[in-house]
């Protein structure tokens, strides 16, 4: 998979999208014409490719954040703001051995694997076969499958998969759970988690957070609630702009202004405000810590 | 360094603090008496130690987030919410070779090193000798210095240190800058950064962000502004509580209620609200990407 | 102007819109057919009207918040969250005499007038004739023009209008400014503001806030900055929902579920999260207080 | 009650506090000495008074926001950000007749009364006699009791007070509720509320919001949930500052710098960031609308 970026740099940001996996003979219709995959194969990063209508794009490798947001999806991914924080809350080390359920579309899977690479291991479980297969594909396609070797995938209900594996108690250094009712799986998971290590749950609704806290207390599960967090990455627009009233030249079109054009000094101003399109709510993150009941 | 946690678990959370480096003969006055280091040395995680007044604490290893927030400081550290996001925005791989300036108290240093361990490398520069020495100490004391081998420290002005090193152009996969006026160092830094890779600046004031954007444009530095972000980890209080009006027993003291006490069912309620002590503003993060000027 | 609300109450909220001013012979195409104004005229609030295709709506009076958000617009209005706060920051009394510039589409005008009615007075100035005329119309159409008598409109540049009026110095109890460069008008405005009273500026960009603060200091204008605020009304979705997995009846369609349908107990859950469509950034509010230079 | 402001204007803002009610013979110890009330009585706004140690203060009238935040309190007040929004969500007109329960310390009472003055009326009920008496005092002391005539106070449980009054059904144009379990009072309140008009509940916990929504649905109370909001007034620090490194004069003390001092141009910078002391969470506001069940 490579990322294509429109070479025509506009003030409001260029168009970007993913293309791939690359295969000779394949074509893709993109804004500005049709692009043969074969025109990309063999090229280097930052080379320029052109559509059949001569629209040009530069080739890039996507970052993990870009990849996860842009890949075609079966379901809503866990976005970078949350995926990066889940990794942080698990306090992972490159030698950690961890578990996640469910796999979903493999977004969080990639973030977790990156933090473990090359010496740790992630066991990723999903009850849904289609999701697991698609996630495996997404993992394989990122950065030539660099993280594939750190991950093993299972299909089935989390606690059943764990019971079937006959694994040592307290084997995991961390667990990430993205499922509507994680409390049902907790007893089975907790006995495989090391003491003092963390489970992080991704829960869209506060009612789910409450139910989780209540179930842990009611069933005396050996977990302490460390933090309940809502993560916001608040984007700002900060960039040069033209103050139209001061241009003095009616023929000047702001819309056609490109990044390389010079804005005359007397008309130079700066946009500087929180973005008009903020990120909406995604989920609450609940960090739980395994304790010893006394 | 180990973390001690008050064994008396109260509803509002137990007292925790760091102690160390441990040395036979040393003592520390803590809430509830004096504690000899020798009582901790040789103990295991989750063992219990007691002060001379019989107050007991359990022993833990601090997470990186706990360590960075609790170590005695010469200056304000970069907090976990920002440090973790800077690592994310740099899109690091375990083979990355990166640079940071200034080192500060070594908080971000540890986060960067963790993401590179064991195969990458971080070059950390600070103009202030005391800060650099103290940061080195903080790095060495965390988790028995596990990340020390991934980091080399330099003292001096960033651009002068770089010039003196006669390093290959475009060697760095990423750069993190925590200094009041990063624009002065950019020309020297940019030529050592790989194309398409990122610089992330940590800037408390929006006036600094504006100045950065203006200087890049004015001096035609080969950087594009990818994102300006403000990071919030908004904490919630979600926990069981006693609804006093419903206790029916005046002698019951809520303040003395511990986590292990049973709250009678008719008086069980739940606190569920954003924390009254929110995290204040720390800084804006500016993600810059090296481009090729056309 | 009346507000029509779809009688079919859906879980996600009913469709609502404004219609008017009502005139016999006029028709309007709305979702579900064509509606003759004459069907509304003479009806009471909460009566039901039907389109030519038998789709029914109930009649309501719009609140001021609903009116301001739903009226057809020449420009972006000042939204309720900001308009209500500007009124609050001006600390108005029903006897206050205040000024606003520019009038815009008359959104803030209505909020200011409501807080002054019936004994205070608002002078509303706009440099743009079309805007001023349209705003006057919007004011007249709200609640049968109840607030019209409290407002006088002027067209022209703010300071020129003030100079032409030969008004007593220090006449105003408050001033609201919605213009890109309010600093140009401040010297003229400040001498007409009472000491210890407030000017509130509505400024979309932080660069404008900075310029305002700099100009006041540089030209020694007799104003102190009291507060710079960003106002957020963060909406939550809290409502009953169906947990589909637990319905046990495939024929049940969640989309067709209306508010009056009973959700079977075993499938009843609750959505409880910040809304997915948050309000974006609008502007910063700067509260300035007239002081005496010593 | 008057507000005293330290005449020594510092960059970080002057000290302010309330003093009163003024009475000949009374004294108050304030920072900088003891002040006789008799020195203030007879003075005008902006006059200067001095303590026995010659520390000088200027006299001001407090705004409603200042008054409510600074008066000595029996309990946490409803802060300006919420009080102003509750008034906004009730969509009040100067002829409105409304009800609030509980009165608390009279903070919201004053905001409601201001929006009704001089032609509307507020009925304020509290179950706690001490609170009601203190609130009445706070209302009387603000701005010489200007709003007292718009308010009648009752002591008792809300529904019992209403039942005892033999008032016409559907008399209220709006209701504000600040109590832990408002659902218990709703049936009694709703029959006295006009159709299409609003109840706004002030609830610190999301668990309370959920319980409210559930009870309305379960008991089929004739209310629709219009909005659940969390209000934030996010304060920014935007002000001139000295960049110490550029002063070039070690003898210059930033701490003693007053607002009237000139900052040399080469050392002039600007603080421009969200305040380090943000407002914490207070409560969620739930806007309910009376509907007709069909």
pLDDT digits (tens, 9 = 90+) for A180-210: 999 999 999 999 999 999 999 999 999 999 9
Query: Is the CB of D207 less than 8 angstroms away from the CB of A207?
Result: no
Does residue A174 contact residue A98 with C-beta atoms inside 8 Å? yes
Q: Which residues does chain D have within 8 Å of residue C289's beta carbon, measured at their own beta carbons?
A: none
Q: Which of C203, C205, C206 to mutate to test the interface with B (most CBs of B within 10 A)?
A: C206
Q: Which of A81, A232, A274 to mutate to test the interface with C (most CBs of C within 10 A)?
A: A274
* Chain A nearest C-alpha distance from B115 (Å): 6
Q: Side-chain half-sphere of C43: how many Cα atoms within 13 Å? A: 22
Compute the Cα dihedral for C159, C161, C166, C172 and give only its sign: negative
Mean pLDDT of C128-156: 95
* Chain B nearest C-alpha distance from C63 (Å): 30
Query: Is the pLDDT confidence value at C36 over 70?
Result: yes
pLDDT at D13: 65
Q: Which of D203, D206, D214, D229 to mutate to test the interface with A (most CBs of A within 10 A)?
A: D206
Query: Is the pLDDT confidence value at C256 over 70?
Result: no
pLDDT band, residue B38 (cuts 50/70/90): very high
Q: Would you give the distance in Å from CA D137 to the centre of its chain?
A: 15
Query: Is the pLDDT confidence value at D252 over 60?
Result: no
Closest-CA residue of D relative to B206 is D272
The answer for residues whose C-beta is within 8 angstroms of residue D69's C-beta and 6 or more apart is: D77, D79, D80
pLDDT band, residue B266 (cuts 50/70/90): confident
Interface of B with D (CB under 8 A): 204-207, 230, 269-278, 280-281, 284
Mean pLDDT of A282-292: 95
The DSSP bridge pattern shows strands C193-203 and C172-177 to be parallel
Mean pLDDT of B22-44: 92
Query: Over the stretch C50-82, which tens digit does the pLDDT of each residue have?
Result: 999 999 999 999 999 999 999 988 788 999 999
Query: Over the stretch C79-117, which tens digit does the pLDDT of each residue have?
Result: 999 999 999 999 998 889 999 999 999 999 999 999 998
Query: Is the CB of A207 less than 8 angstroms away from the CB of C270?
Result: yes
Q: Which residues does chain D have within 8 Å of residue A206's beta carbon, measured at their own beta carbons?
A: 206
End-to-end CA distance of chain D: 52
Query: Is the CB of C280 less than 8 angstroms away from the CB of A280?
Result: no
How high is the mean pLDDT of chain D? 90
* Chain C nearest C-alpha distance from B93 (Å): 33
* Chain C nearest C-alpha distance from B189 (Å): 28
Query: Is the CB of B45 less than 8 angstroms away from the CB of A196?
Result: yes
In whole angstroms, what is the distance from residue D96 CA to residue D81 CA? 22
In whole angstroms, what is the distance from residue D121 CA to residue D149 CA? 8
Q: Would you give the distance in Å from CA B280 to the centre of its chain?
A: 15
Which DSSP string corresponds to A136-177?
HHHHHHGGGGTTGGGEEEEES-HHHHHHHTTPPTT-EEEEEE
Interface of A with D (CB under 8 A): 206-207, 210
Evaluate the omega torsion of the peptide bond into residue A251 and state whether it is cis, within 30 degrees of 0. Answer: no
> Coil, strand, or helix at residue B234?
strand
Task: State the residue for tokens 């002039």.
Answer: D268
Mean pLDDT of A213-218: 95
pLDDT at A31: 87
* Chain C nearest C-alpha distance from B181 (Å): 19
Q: Which residues does chain C have within 8 Å of residue D118's beta carbon, measured at their own beta carbons?
A: 94, 119
Query: Is the CB of C281 less than 8 angstroms away from the CB of A272?
Result: no
In whole angstroms, what is the distance from residue C215 CA to residue C81 CA? 28
Query: Is the pLDDT confidence value at C222 over 80?
Result: yes
* Chain A nearest C-alpha distance from B133 (Å): 25
Q: Side-chain half-sphere of D64: how many Cα atoms within 13 Å? A: 28
In whole angstroms, what is the distance from residue A159 CA to residue C1 CA? 60
Nearest to B241 by CA among B216, B210, B273: B273
* Chain C nearest C-alpha distance from B100 (Å): 29
Mean pLDDT of B149-164: 95
Query: Is the CB of D278 less than 8 angstroms away from the CB of B275?
Result: no
3-state secondary structure chain D: CEEEEECCCECCCCCEEEECCCCCCCEEEECCEEEEHHHCCCCCCCCEEECCCCCEEEEECCCHHHHHHHCCCCCCCCCHHHHHHHHHHCCCCCCCEEEEECCCCCHHHHHHHHHHCCCCEEEEEECCHHHHHHHHHHHHHHHHHCCHHHEEEEECCHHHHHHHCCCCCCCEEEEEECCCCHHHCHHHHHCCEEEEEEEEEEECCHHHHHHHHHHHHHCCCCEEEEEEEEEEEEEEEEEEEECHHHCCCCCCCHHHCECCCCCCHHHEEEEEEECCCCCCCCCEEEEEEECCCC
Mean pLDDT of D195-221: 96
Q: Would you give the distance in Å from CA D179 to the centre of its chain?
A: 17
pLDDT at C237: 95
Q: Choose between A230 and A13: higher pLDDT.
A: A230
Evaluate the omega torsion of the peptide bond into residue C102 and state whether it is cis, within 30 degrees of 0. Answer: yes
Does residue D284 contact residue D203 with C-beta atoms inside 8 Å? yes
Left, alpha or beta for B8 (phi > 0: left; psi -120 to 50: alpha)?
beta
pLDDT band, residue B239 (cuts 50/70/90): very high
Mean pLDDT of C204-231: 96
Tell me the C-alpha to C-alpha distance, in Å, between residue D64 and each of C116, D84, D108, D109, D278.
Answer: 16, 10, 10, 11, 21
Q: Which residues does chain A have within 8 Å of residue D206's beta carbon, measured at their own beta carbons?
A: 206
The answer for residues whose C-beta is within 8 angstroms of residue B255's C-beta and 6 or more apart is: none
Closest-CA residue of D relative to B276 is D280
Closest-CA residue of C relative to B206 is C206
In whole angstroms, what is the distance from residue C68 CA to residue C76 CA? 10
Does residue A28 contact residue A37 with C-beta atoms inside 8 Å? yes
* Chain A nearest C-alpha distance from C278 (Å): 6
pLDDT at D261: 59
Q: Of all residues in chain D, what percent carry a pLDDT higher than 70?
A: 92
Mean pLDDT of A237-255: 70
Nearest to B16 by CA among B54, B73, B61, B79: B61
Nearest to A57 by CA among A94, A26, A95, A28: A28
pLDDT at A255: 52
In whole angstroms, what is the distance from residue A217 CA to residue B117 CA? 38
Q: Which residues does chain A have within 8 Å of residue D210's beta carbon, measured at their own beta carbons?
A: 207
pLDDT at A279: 72
Q: Which residues does chain D have within 8 Å of residue C119's beta carbon, measured at their own beta carbons?
A: 118
* Chain D nearest C-alpha distance from B226 (Å): 21
In whole angstroms, what is the distance from residue D67 CA to residue D80 CA? 10
Q: Which residues does chain C have within 8 Å of residue B206's beta carbon, measured at their own beta carbons?
A: 206
H helices of chain B, where? 64-70, 80-89, 107-116, 129-141, 158-165, 186-190, 206-218
Closest-CA residue of A relative to D211 is A207
The DSSP bridge pattern shows strands B223-242 and B268-274 to be antiparallel
Closest-CA residue of B relative to A210 is B238
Q: Choose between B293 and C111: higher pLDDT.
A: C111
Query: Is the CB of D236 less than 8 angstroms away from the CB of C270?
Result: no
pLDDT at B258: 52
Mean pLDDT of C160-164: 93
Query: Is the CB of B207 less than 8 angstroms away from the CB of C207?
Result: no
Domains and CATH numbers, chain B: 2-61 (3.10.330.20), 67-232+281-290 (3.40.50.150), 236-274 (no CATH)
Which DSSP string corresponds to A20-85?
-S--TT-EEEETTEEEEGGGTTTPPTT-EEE-TT--EEEEEPPPHHHHHHHS--SSPPPPHHHHHH
The answer for residues whose C-beta is within 8 angstroms of residue C92's C-beta and 6 or more apart is: C98, C112, C115, C116, C120, C173, C174
Query: Is the CB of C91 less than 8 angstroms away from the CB of D63?
Result: yes
Looking at C22-142, which runs of residues are DSSP E strands?
A: 27-30, 33-36, 48-50, 56-60, 97-101, 121-126
Q: Which of A224, A233, A257, A275 to mutate to test the interface with B (most CBs of B within 10 A)?
A: A233
Does residue D242 contact residue D253 with C-beta atoms inside 8 Å? no
Q: Which residues does chain B have within 8 Å of residue C206's beta carbon, measured at their own beta carbons?
A: 206
Query: Is the CB of C88 less than 8 angstroms away from the CB of D84?
Result: yes
In whole angstroms, what is the distance from residue B279 CA to residue B75 CA? 17
Query: Is the pLDDT confidence value at D277 over 90?
Result: no
Q: Of all residues in chain B, what percent carry a pLDDT higher than 70?
A: 91
pLDDT at D166: 72
pLDDT at A33: 92
User: Touching D: which chains, 3+ CB pairs < 8 A?
Assistant: A, B, C
Q: Of all residues in chain C, what percent carry a pLDDT higher than 70?
A: 91
Query: Is the CB of C281 less than 8 angstroms away from the CB of A273?
Result: yes
* Chain A nearest C-alpha distance from D284 (Å): 14
Minimum-distance CB partner of C80 among D63, D88, D236: D88
In whole angstroms, what is the distance from residue B185 CA to residue B182 CA? 6
Interface of B with C (CB under 8 A): 206-207, 210
Does residue A5 contact residue A58 with C-beta atoms inside 8 Å? yes
The DSSP bridge pattern shows strands C223-242 and C284-290 to be antiparallel
Neighbours of D111 (CB within 10 A): 24
Does residue B271 contact residue D268 with C-beta atoms inside 8 Å? no
pLDDT at C265: 78
In whole angstroms, what is the distance from residue A6 CA to residue A58 CA? 7
3-state secondary structure D35-73: EEHHHCCCCCCCCEEECCCCCEEEEECCCHHHHHHHCCC
Q: Choose between C117 and D262: higher pLDDT.
A: C117
Mean pLDDT of D149-162: 96
Q: Which residues does chain D have within 8 Å of residue C229's beta carbon, measured at their own beta carbons?
A: 233-236
In whole angstroms, what is the distance from residue B206 CA to residue B156 CA? 27
Query: Over the stretch B82-130, which tens digit does the pLDDT of each residue have?
Result: 999 999 999 998 889 999 999 999 999 999 999 998 889 999 999 999 9
Neighbours of B80 (CB within 10 A): 24
């Amino acid at each position: 998979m490579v990322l294509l970026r429109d070479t025509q740099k506009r003030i409001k940001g260029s168009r970007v999208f993913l293309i791939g996996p690359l295969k000779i003979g394949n074509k893709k219709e993109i804004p500005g014409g049709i692009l043969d995959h074969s025109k990309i194969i063999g090229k280097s990063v930052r080379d320029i490719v052109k559509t059949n209508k001569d629209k040009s794009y530069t080739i890039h490798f996507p970052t993990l954040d870009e990849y996860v947001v842009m890949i075609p999806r079966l379901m809503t991914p866990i976005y970078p703001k949350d995926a990066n924080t889940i990794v942080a809350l698990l306090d992972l080390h490159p030698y950690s051995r961890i578990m996640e359920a469910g796999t979903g579309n493999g977004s969080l899977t990639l973030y977790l694997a990156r933090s473990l690479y090359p010496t740790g291991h992630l066991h990723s479980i999903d009850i849904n076969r289609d999701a697991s297969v698609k996630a495996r594909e997404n993992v394989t396609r990122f950065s030539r499958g660099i993280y594939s070797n750190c991950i093993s995938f299972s299909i089935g209900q989390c606690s059943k998969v764990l019971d079937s594996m006959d694994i040592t108690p307290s084997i995991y250094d961390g667990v990430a759970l993205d499922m509507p009712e994680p409390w049902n799986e907790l007893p089975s998971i907790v006995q495989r988690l090391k003491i003092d290590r963390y489970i992080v749950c991704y829960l869209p609704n506060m009612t789910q957070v409450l139910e989780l806290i209540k179930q842990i207390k009611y069933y005396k599960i050996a977990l302490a609630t460390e933090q309940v967090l809502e993560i916001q990455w608040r984007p700002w627009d900060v960039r040069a702009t033209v103050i139209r009233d001061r241009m003095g030249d009616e023929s000047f079109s702001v819309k056609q202004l490109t990044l390389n054009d010079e804005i005359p000094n007397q008309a130079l101003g700066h946009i500087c405000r929180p973005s008009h399109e903020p990120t909406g709510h995604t989920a609450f993150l609940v960090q739980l810590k395994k304790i010893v009941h006394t």
